[in-house]
Chain A
Amino acid sequence: MATKVRIPASLRTLTGGKDEVTAAGDTVGALIEDLEKNHPGIKDRLVDEKGVRRFVNLYVGEEDVRFLDGLGTPLKAGDEISIVPAIAGG
């Protein structure tokens, strides 16, 4: 199942400048593993040994995965993932 992932400007060096990519996985964690295969380095930016890094916000639709099941959050057809960064500068 291919899920659409919206990539923030701060990670687009890892996606060849693309603001949207697709990845496969039936959970958020599996999807991140798949993202890492095609865009090496992205996993470390998003997760650490404890799960989603504290300052990274991952949304399935409009729901923050912190308030769902974290990396275990299941994905279904038509879901869209957004990676929302912190605010930089001024």
Chain B
Amino acid sequence: MKSRARRIESVLDAVGNTPMVRIPVPSAPDVTVYAKLESANPGGSVKDRAARRMILDALADGRLGRGRTLIDSTSGNTGVAYSMFGAALGIPVELVMPENVSRARKDIAKAFGTKIIFSDPLEGSDGAIRDVRLIVDANKDKYFYPDQYANPSNPQAHYEGTAVEILRDVGDVLTHFVAGVGTSGTMMGTARRLHEHTRKITCVAVQPDSSMHGLEGLKHMESSLVPQIYDPKVPDETMFIRTEDGWDMADALALRGLHVGHSSGANIFAAMKVAERLASEGKPGCIVCIVADRGDRYFAPMKWDKSYVW
């Protein structure tokens, strides 16, 4: 991955090397918490890393190219990334997403020329996964189906990118890494690399506390189709966060100048809990958590929202 240079040849080279911003936790003065701003990627989310890597690996071994269309199911951010890179590389893109995905993300994907196929909102993202499999099975020659939930290039992007950047940027003081799990690519790849470090680094996964939740992008694994790349043994610990805690944290951080999405609010809430726990045990620490995207991606209303004037 190239460094954050001022002049680059392609939008693909703008992925990664994201900054980390300090989150003060007054109740834990001996613990430093950093939020790694994956929202600074060119598509606005952490999903740029996985999408870029899945596309480049598939182009390299011939699964993609020769006019093949990339198709996948996505709740949005991966779709934005596929659409952006597809447009940059001349690859047609089709996406299956639940109809209740935020309007902003549908419109962003469409702006890049992507075709969107809607799935039943009541079936959630698992319904979109089932639908894309049916479409691909019926047109095997037309499509390249990266399947972000099962593609090893997804965690590999984090193994070689995110984790390396974190170790480089905070140095040998890192004690904890905190990230939510959706496809689980961020946690699987980053944690594997951090666990290879000589000193113990504790990796904390964040999941919603209930199957019915509002932390868009995260999966409640117990009630979901479990992604093939997800290995529950990789995180050292899983914290189950209430939707309201993630939302309230996102709102509170915005008033301090950091406007993050709801799942990132949950990640930072979890990181602060870890910090407070360390403080209560009288231990110092250094925690890095992931900001997956910005809050403005969730501004746009649902299709039925009548309070919004277009």
Binding site for B on A (CB under 8 A): 6-11, 13, 19, 45-46, 53-57, 59, 62-64, 67, 82-90
Contact = CB atoms under 8 A, between A and B. Distances in A.
Q: Which of A8, A54, A82 has the most CB of B within 10 A?
A: A8
Interface in B108-156: 121-127, 148-149
B124 A67 contact: no
B217 A87 contact: yes
A88 B122 contact: no
26 contacts: A8-B121, A8-B122, A8-B123, A9-B124, A10-B220, A11-B211, A45-B212, A53-B214, A53-B244, A64-B306, A67-B305, A67-B306, A84-B100, A85-B121, A85-B213, A87-B216, A87-B217, A88-B124, A88-B182, A88-B216, A88-B219, A89-B219, A90-B73, A90-B182, A90-B183, A90-B217
Contacts, number: 114
A34 B171 CA distance: 57
Q: Main SS of chain B's interface residues?
A: loop
Contacts of A8: 121-124, 212
B78 A9 contact: no
Contacts of A64: 302, 304-306
Interface residues of B, number: 45
A85 B224 CA distance: 13
Nearest to B105: A87
Q: Which of B123, B211, B218 has the most CB of A within 10 A?
A: B211
Interface in B196-245: 208, 210-220, 223-224, 227, 243-244
B39 interface: no
B280 interface: no
Given A64-B304, A88-B125, 7 more contacts: A7-B122, A9-B124, A64-B302, A85-B124, A87-B97, A89-B125, A90-B74
A79 B273 CA distance: 44
Given A8-B124, A55-B214, A87 B76 contact: yes
Nearest to B219: A89
Contact of B98 (A11, A82, A87): A87
Contacts of B208: 88
A8 B100 CA distance: 12
Nearest to B78: A90
Nearest to B213: A86
B122 A90 contact: no
Contacts of A57: 100, 302
A9 B127 contact: yes
Contacts of A10: 124, 211-213, 220, 223
B101 interface: yes
Nearest to A7: B122
Contacts of B148: 90
Given A9-B123, A10-B124, A89-B224, A56 B75 contact: no
Given A6-B122, A88-B224, A89-B183, A55 B217 contact: no
B120 to A, nearest CB: 9
B307 interface: yes
Contacts of A88: 75, 124-126, 182, 208, 213, 216-220, 224
A89 B75 contact: yes
Contact of A63 (B77, B121, B149, B304): B304
B247 interface: yes
A86 B214 contact: yes
